[in-house]
Structure 1
Amino acid sequence: MAKVEIYTTPTCPYCIAAKALLRKKGVDYTETDVSRDPDLRVAMTQRAGGRRSVPQIFIDGQHVGGSDDIHALDHQGKLDAMLGITA
């Protein structure tokens, strides 16, 4: 199973949707709340190639984007393979 990291804020509806998709797939993830620590948001922004919005999602250290991006990967049938999910 892949290592998944997600940077979030507590009330972000996109964060909630992305986490729900990961839970639906049975994927454990490490969540980092960037709402109260500007240094964490700066670190996230640097890792995410300048993207400041949340969520920012990384699979095995590779930046895959935000909620729309992870849902698009799922729709395209590519997400399961990235997550190491086998049928």
Structure 2
Amino acid sequence: MSADGERTDEGGTGAELIVYTRPGCPFCTSLRAGLRRQDLEFREIDIWQEQGAAAAVRAIADGNETVPTVVLGDWSAVNPSASQVLDAVREHAPELLPESKPGLVSGALNALGLRQTD
């Protein structure tokens, strides 16, 4: 993994969703919850625990240690909403989107061997 969040191994575009956080941050808690509701996988980095993480955030956030800061390849954002992150994933790394899951009705119909028609 390189410092900018790009995977250095083979396969895919190498994009990884990185969320820089710190303990006790309510905005971090909110973003984590929103990303989990969207079933987005991400790597969380605590800027107080991981060496170099605070410096990475300062480089993105105009010298401030503002969290959450999110990085996805060349895209980054300071204190974004979950929907802004989801939009960035759609645009920059759609392979990170979760597979679509059937809703309750279509899932139940599929389980019964029936198909829902439009």
- Tell me if both proteins adopt one fold, taking TM over 0.5 as the criterion: yes
Instruction: Please say if 1:62 is aligned against 2:75.
Output: yes
The number of residues matched between the two structures is 82
In 1, the alpha carbon distance for the partners of 2:42 and 2:81 equals: 14
TM-score normalised per structure 1: 0.70
**Structure 2 residue 48 is the aligned partner of structure 1 residue 35:** yes
Q: Alpha carbons of 1:49 and 1:80: their partners in 2 closer, same or farther (altered >3 Å)?
A: closer
Percent of paired sites with the same residue: 19
The 5-angstrom pairing of residues 12-51 of structure 1 reads 12-36=25-49, 39-46=52-59, 48-50=60-62, 51=64
RCO (CA 8 Å, sep 6+): is it higher in 1 or 2?
A: 1
> Which of the two has greater helix per residue?
1
TM-score by length of 2: 0.54
Structure with more of its chain in strand, by fraction: 1
1:7 maps to which residue?
20
Structure 1 unaligned blocks of 5 or more: none
What is the root-mean-square deviation in Å for CA atoms of aligned residues? 2.9
Partner of 2:65: 52
Larger radius of gyration: 2
> How far apart, in 2, do the equivalents of 1:80 and 1:37 lie?
24
